[in-house]
Amino acid sequence: MNRPLRRMSAALMVLFALLLLNANWLQTVQAGSLNQRPGNARVLLQQYSNERGPILVAGDSIARSVETKGEFKYLREYPDKALYAQLTGYFSLFDKTGLERSENSVLAGTDDRLFIRRAIDLLTGKDRQGGAVQLTVDPAAQRAATKGLRDVGGKGAVVALDPRTGAILAMQSAPSYDPNPLAAHSSRAVQEAYDTLNEDPDKPLRNRAAAEIYPPGSTFKLVTAAAALSSGRYTADGVVPGQAVLDLPQTTADLRNENRRACADGTPTLTEALRYSCNTSFGAIGLDLGDDALREQAGKFGFGRDDIEVGIPSATSRFPAELNAPQTAQSAIGQYDVAATPLQMAMVAAAIANGGKVMQPYLVDRLLAPDLSQLDRAEPEELDTAVTPQVATALTSMMVDVVENGTGRNAQIDGVSVAGKTGTAQVGEGRDPHAWFVSFAPAEDPEVAVAVLVENGAGNTEISGGQLAAPIARSVMQAVLGSAS
């Protein structure tokens, strides 16, 4: 073999070796990332060629796959449109969100627990079929939450929990969106639908119930009251400061009551201070207890925890660190830099309703195989103990007083004892405050706890938690209690 041929052979051998190395690199190291890369046509065809399992609420499919005659065999469909969009998310050519993402392995049929089923299908020549995801949601409560937010107009959120288990009975964010256009088979149509929603100034793709944090305003006074009672230095019937103006130490600023008058006769009990939502009373209690005590109590209710997973994106609620005295007084009434999701405030109400035990909230009740046999079922899990049963009982009585005699009268239900707390959270100069209401019922044997947020008062001229948010909470509680009876 002459020199040119030897060189050519050597070059071909090197190229062949490089080709083998590249093939092995792609098939072993990069195979996973390539398969998950958005827009991979082969993967897309495979995903849409198998029937994806349904997401169920009370036995009805709120997300399902329907057969088509197009290039992609199945189309994802959401028959209730915006009603459950914040929970299901969407399954599109480009992305998956919500439960479509977190429970993808079961819905797509690739979960390890479905291995035997896949093996049988392979032997019998059947196409792979996804399993089902059954939610904890009460459809009557979800519809009541949706209607309540729609009737008040604007933006907001509702979360309802079963305080005994942590099961999410309703979770709605307004405005919501129709996920069907995002599940279309046309990439252009999907992109146009996404761009329209993403550029909407009202941000309908955001889940305000779990993934957004807000100043909780006076609903946080429940946390301050819990810290006060737990300290052993305060009782529900004990007298607390109630002047019209509280001098904030280290500043020239004052903390005032909403009506700029003294609370009750100026020497209210703790129960009366909560009944009238007196800023100066709870600001003074905060100064007395100190920021560490408030922070510890907030943490027991779930503030600062990043492990509260419900299957959809959620934000971490916070009680600020390293507060000085005036900041502590502001934080004690849910202002300054305190921030909470509506889910977190529902957990506060639920913990009080549950004798002080904070339950891990959960949205998925059961995972089912394609033949509806059970793969897994959620077990209620205690997350923490926020207060003793005695403190929870005292807080419950105080919250019942708020609804029967104070700022929460609009949450009253005939024949049912309701516990609640209003909140109106200031959000800055020139902007309307948020309206809040948290509650549970029946007070003596709670079955449902609810948190309602109406963002910036939804543009109403008269803004208060009792006026805007309490009627929504009442309708959700009635829906749950009605459907349970």
Residues with catalytic annotation? 218
- Secondary structure letter of residue 254 according to DSSP: E
Between the alpha carbon of residue 93 and those of residues 45, 46, 96, 109, 270, the distances in Å are 10, 12, 8, 18, 56
Q: Give residues with Cβ within 8 angstroms of 232, minimum separation 6.
A: none
**326 cis-preceded (ω within 30 degrees of 0):** no
| Residue for token pair 């959000």 | 427
Closest CA to 471 of 151, 142, 83, 140: 151
Tokens of 12: 């071909």
Residue 51: count other Cβ atoms within 10 Å of its Cβ.
19
Tokens of 357: 């035990």
Phi, psi for 241 (deg, rounded to 5): -60, 145
Tokens of 315: 């934000």
Tokens of 385: 């103990």
Q: d(Cα 464, Cα 458) in Å, to the nearest integer? A: 11
Strand partners, 364: 135
| Residue for token pair 């030897």 | 6
3-state secondary structure of 420: strand
Q: Give residues with Cβ within 8 angstroms of 318, minimum separation 6.
A: 213, 303, 304, 337, 338, 339, 340
- 211-227 burial code (b ≥16 CB/10 A, e <16): bbbbbbbbbbbbbbbbb
CB-CB contact of 412 with 404 (8 Å): yes
H or E stretch covering 3: helix 3-24
